[in-house]
Amino acid sequence: MVLWNHASFNIFDIRRVVVQAGQTLRSYVLPASVFVMSVRGSAQIILDETAHNTRRFQIFHAGKGSVLNVEAAQEGFEYYCVYYKAKLSLPTHGELAALAERLRPFHVTYNLIPAEPVILYRCLTDMHKEWGKAEALGHLRAKVLLFQFITEVLNQMQSQDARSQKRDLAAQIITIIQSRYAEAITLELLSENLNYSVPHLSSYFKSRTGLSPIDYLIKVRIDKTAALLLETDATLKEIASSVGYQDPYYLGRLFKKHKGVSPSHFRTEHRLPQLEDSPSTTMRLSIGPPKALSYTNIVDNDYQRVGDGEDELNMYRGSRPPIGGIIA
Maximum Cα–Cα distance across the chain: 89
pLDDT at residue 321 in the model = 52
- CA distance to 52, 160, 173, 201, per residue, from 206 (Å): 35, 21, 11, 9
> Rounded to an integer, what distance in angstroms lies between the CA atom of residue 11 and that of residue 145?
11
Q: Average pLDDT by consecutive 10-residue portion of the chain (328 residues)?
A: 75 95 91 95 90 89 93 94 86 65 80 90 96 92 94 87 65 89 91 82 88 95 95 94 94 94 92 51 41 37 34 36 50
Give one DSSP letter per residue of 17-67, joined into a string. EEE-TT-EEEEEEPSSEEEEEEEEEEEEEEETTEEEEE-SS-EEEE-TT-E
What does the pLDDT read at residue 272? 60
DSSP reduced 3-state for 111: strand
Bridging pattern class, strands 67-88 and 33-47: antiparallel
**CA dist., res. 205 & res. 303, Å (int):** 15
Reported in sequence order, the residue ranges of the chain that DSSP labels E, i.e. its strands, are 7-19, 24-29, 33-47, 50-54, 59-62, 67-88, 110-112, 303-306, 310-313
CA–CA separation, 191 vs 198, rounded Å? Answer: 6
Domains, the chain, ranges and CATH?
Answer: 2-164+321-327 (2.60.120.10)
Q: How far is CA 138 from the centre of its chain?
A: 39
Task: Let me know how long the chain is.
Answer: 328
Which of 19, 31, 138, 27 lies closest to 80, judged by CA? 19
pLDDT of the residue at 2: 63
Q: 3-class DSSP state for residue 187?
A: helix
Report the pLDDT value the prediction gives residue 170, as an integer from 0 to 100. Answer: 85
Cβ atoms of 233 and 283 closer than 8 Å: yes
